[in-house]
């Protein structure tokens, strides 16, 4: 019985680990072209920058280095957005 309980706990932990990993689906990567702007006060309050109607954030690139430049950003949509009538939220992986 003790072995069954331990196995059950391991299965539950694995289930949660796999489901949490699906938050950001990097396989759905796409490109957005436009001019990066710094995010201003908004009703939806997410993202640090914007481009072509999308809210952006990045842990890989310093988006401040590209403000007012016409670029192509490569990234993926963050699950759970848009909210509060805002735009899609994009995790930027690189800027070209």
pTM attached to this predicted model: 0.71
Q: How many Å apart are CA 62 and CA 15, to the nearest integer?
A: 34
Closest listed residue to residue 42, CA positions, set 63, 23, 56, 24: 56
Residue found under tokens 């949490």: 20
Q: How far apart are the first and last CA of the chain?
A: 57
Give the pLDDT score at 24. Answer: 47
Give the pLDDT score at 1. Answer: 60
The matching CATH number, chosen from 1.10.10, 2.60.40, 2.40.50, 1.10.1070, for 27-95 is 2.40.50
Q: Would you kindly state where each structural domain of the chain is located, as residue ranges? A: 27-95
Q: How many Å apart are CA 74 and CA 93, to the nearest integer?
A: 6
Q: How many Å apart are CA 89 and CA 46, to the nearest integer?
A: 8
Give the pLDDT score at 84. Answer: 85
Q: How many Å apart are CA 54 and CA 23, to the nearest integer?
A: 18
Residue found under tokens 């995790």: 91
User: pLDDT per position in the chain (96 positions), as tens?
Assistant: 665 555 555 555 544 444 444 444 455 899 999 999 999 999 999 999 999 999 999 999 999 999 999 999 999 999 999 998 999 999 999 999
Q: How many Å apart are CA 93 and CA 87, to the nearest integer?
A: 18
């Amino acid at each position: 019985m003790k072995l069954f309980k331990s196995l059950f706990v391991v299965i539950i932990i694995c289930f949660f680990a796999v489901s949490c990993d699906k938050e950001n689906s990097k396989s759905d990567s796409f490109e957005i072209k436009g001019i990066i702007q710094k995010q201003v006060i908004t009703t939806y309050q997410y993202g640090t920058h914007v481009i072509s109607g999308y809210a952006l954030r990045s842990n890989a690139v310093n988006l401040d280095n590209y403000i007012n430049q016409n670029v192509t950003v490569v990234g993926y949509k963050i699950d759970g957005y848009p909210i509060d009538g805002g735009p899609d939220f994009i995790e930027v992986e690189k800027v070209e």
